[in-house]
Amino acid sequence: KAGVTQTPRYLIKTRGQQVTLSCSPISGHRSVSWYQQTPGQGLQFLFEYFSETQRNKGNFPGRFSGRQFSNSRSEMNVSTLELGDSALYLCASSSGQPNQPQHFGDGTRLSIL
């Protein structure tokens, strides 16, 4: 069974640009969650999509947005990039039930110059 696939693995952008990250969940998983990981703040929840609808949202500004397609693939978009957006962005998929573990991808490492 293929795992969670995130593309690209690495990305370098400059301030003010926008970026789109992609996540393909494990087959059959309907929930996709996004996390930001930085050395200072640790792992922070961005949002969760379930059946194409945003079900939960963390405390991030509106520059961070996402969507989910009918095949459960998800994209995350960050607009007007800031230096502080440099981080490892992790995607996780699950069945969507709270008792089920989330399975994570390798992440996209985003560097802002």
Partner 1 sequence: AQKVTQAQTEISVVEKEDVTLDCVYETRDTTYYLFWYKQPPSGELVFLIRRNSFDEQNEISGRYSWNFQKSTSSFNFTITASQVVDSAVYFCARSQKLVFGQGTRLTINP
Which residues form the interface with partner 1 (CB under 8 A)? 33, 35, 42-43, 45, 48, 56, 88, 90, 92, 98-107, 109
Question: Is omega for the bond preceding 8 within 30 degrees of 0, making it cis?
Answer: yes
DSSP 85: G
Q: How far apart are CA 1 and CA 15, in angstroms?
A: 38
Q: How far apart are CA 95 and CA 97, in angstroms?
A: 6
Q: Which is nearer to partner 1, 58 or 75 (CB)?
A: 58
Q: To the nearest whole angstrom, how small is the minimum distance from the Cβ of residue 110 to partner 1?
A: 13
Q: Which is nearer to partner 1, 12 or 43 (CB)?
A: 43
Q: To the nearest whole angstrom, how small is the minimum distance from the Cβ of residue 44 to partner 1?
A: 8
Q: Which is nearer to partner 1, 45 or 60 (CB)?
A: 45
- Comparing CA positions, the residue from 82, 56, 86 lying closest to residue 68 is 56
Task: For residue 84, give the 3-state DSSP assignment.
Answer: helix
Q: Which is nearer to partner 1, 26 or 78 (CB)?
A: 26
Q: Which residue type does 45 have?
A: F
The token pair that represents 2 in the structure block: 């293929």
